Every structure is written in C-alpha cells, then in structure tokens.
Amino acid sequence: MYVAIEAEQLAKIYATGTEALRDVTFHVGEGEIFGYLGRNGGGKTTTVRILTGLTGATRGRARVAGVDVVARPEDVRARIGVTLQEAALDELLTGREFLTLVASLWGLPRREAKARAGELLELFDLTAAAGRRIGTYSGGMQRRLDLAAALVRRPEVLFLDEPTTGLDPQSRRALWDEIRRLRAEGTTVFLTTQYLEEAEALADRLAVVHEGRIVALGSPETLRSQLGGTVLRLRTNPADAARAASRLAGRAHLVNGAGTVEIDLEQPADALEAAAALAALGLRPDDVEIHRPSLEDVFVALTGPGAGSRSGTRSGEAA
C-alpha cells in the first residue's frame, strides 16, 4: 500500500523549552482515515502543523504524499487540504466570495475559481447561504465552509484538526458523512479529535498521543482488545456475588470487592451458558449487562483519568 503520511521520530521543542513532541513515528496508508487522539496539550495540533509545513520539527523526518515536508513544503501544500482547530474564515465575506478568493489564491483563473466555488457550495449544501456574510453562519455551516475551502484543490491528503469541536450532533454526523465520502473517493484523512465516538465511527486506525509521545497505535478493535475482552456484569448483593464467583471460578471475578461480579466471555454464546449457570444458583441480580471495553476505556487507561488540560499551553505552542 502507498504510504500517504510518514512521520519518523518527530520531535518539537518550542523556544520556551516546552517539549511538545517526542520521537513520534507512524505511517498512514493511502485512502485511510487515521485518527489521532489525545488530550488537550498532548501534541495533536503540533503534529498537524509540522506535517503541513506550518511549523518546523526540531528533529525527525516527515513525508506527506511522498514529498519531504522540510525540503519541499510548497510541494506538500500543493497536495494537501487542511482545516485547523479554528475555522479559518473571513466573517466579513460571503461564502461565495470566500471560496472564490481561496480558489483564486490557489491560482485558478477568475471564471474557474467562481465555478469551483459554486461546485463546493452545492456539494456542502451551502448554496442558499452563499450570498450571506460568513459571520451570520451557524457553527456547523462555518465548519462545512472551512472543509469546502480545504477541498478547493482536490487534495490527496486531508488534515482535519478537531473538525467537529463545538458542533451539535446533527452537524457532527453530517460532517462525518462528508469525511466518509472523501475517503470513498480515495482521499487520505488525518483526523485529530478528542471525541472517542468520532474516532470509533470514522477511523481505520488510531494513534493515541499523550504528553508528546505515541502511547498506542492500531485499529480500534486492537486497542480495545488490549484492555481485555467482553464480560457479563452482574450487580447483586455481596453474598450472591461471592457465590456466583465461586460457581464460575476461573472465569468470574468480583469487582471492587462488593456486589458486582464479572464473567469473561470468549464469544457471545457464552453469555447464555453463564446466565443459565447463575440462574441455577437462584440469583436475583439488580442489574445485568454485557460490557465491551470502549475506546474511551482505552483512552482513559492510556492517558490517565484526570480532567482538564495540561496547564501552561501558551500562544504559539499549539496543543
């Protein structure tokens, strides 16, 4: 498979001494949606800025669409589309004026720039709002316009830096559909996000970056499997929980030493067998659920449970 993005031991130390990235290495195949997860300040945006040539790496090597980012940043920019964390728009222009300007700056003659703007407005369902000032657009419309601007030149690789932050669920799902459509057309997508549900829904493979290091890399299923398999979880009184654990010894264990017992399931049918065994004991559980480790469980296990962002992120030290 053609490698669309190669990052080899990327490191970034800002002038302030902040070490934003440490030896980050990953490859993204052509046509893949690659999810890049991390907490605020973890190094997601710094990675995007290096790969798009907006910021230099302190060490390491990166190639995008087969082109060295450091040696030929202009050639890289010719092959990529980028949406940054903030929708990079001009609120005083109309949607049509904005896209025409972007297409013109890209080098299209005026007539072609207008035509391309019209196509993109149609594609992103913004034609009705094309004559309105961007400042009057909803957050979802602004995000769609931002994405449209990134696609003016039909990029081989698309970088999306937290594209759905702040969107309502409907707008988020509409943007997901666009991302899937782009992948279906062969575009490689590098997606940073804090939404585990988003990564699960879209990404073929994921990297979890924490404090500037990649701490996990693989498919969502692979990452989930690292936390163990599916379990049947019962909540009952402590005595019954202990009896159940004893009856299914080797497959069951008590959780938190109280009235919750978990039974490992190797396959879905095992749930019926376990339930029959527990019913034979005459248990009266308060609650029963089949629990599959979520990506969120994986994320929290890898990056820690603490809330909030790492302090000290300053202007110019993009997270």
Residues that bind another protein (CB under 8 A): 52-56, 74-75, 77-78, 80, 82, 84-93, 97, 101-102, 104-108, 133, 149, 153, 315-316
Residue 196's SS3 state is: helix
Residue 68's SS3 state is: strand
Least separation in angstroms between residue 146's CB and another protein is: 9
Nearest to 201 by CA among 228, 229, 174, 225: 174
Least separation in angstroms between residue 218's CB and another protein is: 30
Rounded distance, CA 66 to CA 79, Å?
10
List all residues 6 or more positions away from 271 whose beta carbon is below 8 Å from its beta carbon.
Answer: 232, 265, 290
Least separation in angstroms between residue 313's CB and another protein is: 16
Least separation in angstroms between residue 237's CB and another protein is: 57
Nearest to 262 by CA among 295, 227, 311: 227
Taking the alpha carbons of 66, 69, 75, 81 in that order, is the dihedral positive or negative? positive
The one-character DSSP state at 28 is E
Cβ atoms 112, 103 nearer than 8 A: yes
Nearer to another protein, 99 or 245 (CB): 99
Q: Return the structure tokens found at 38.
A: 């991390």
Least separation in angstroms between residue 192's CB and another protein is: 15
Least separation in angstroms between residue 107's CB and another protein is: 4
| Residue 29: half-sphere exposure toward Cβ, Cα within 13 Å | 8
Rounded distance, CA 161 to CA 181, Å?
18
Nearer to another protein, 77 or 210 (CB): 77
- CB count in 10 Å sphere of residue 238: 13
Least separation in angstroms between residue 198's CB and another protein is: 21
Cα–chain center distance at 128: 30
Distances (CA, A) of 39 to 42, 53, 65, 310: 5, 23, 27, 8
Least separation in angstroms between residue 257's CB and another protein is: 51
Residue type at 249 in one-letter notation: A
Max Cα-Cα span within the chain: 79
Least separation in angstroms between residue 199's CB and another protein is: 23
Dihedral in degrees, nearest 10, Cα atoms 48, 50, 53, 56: 160
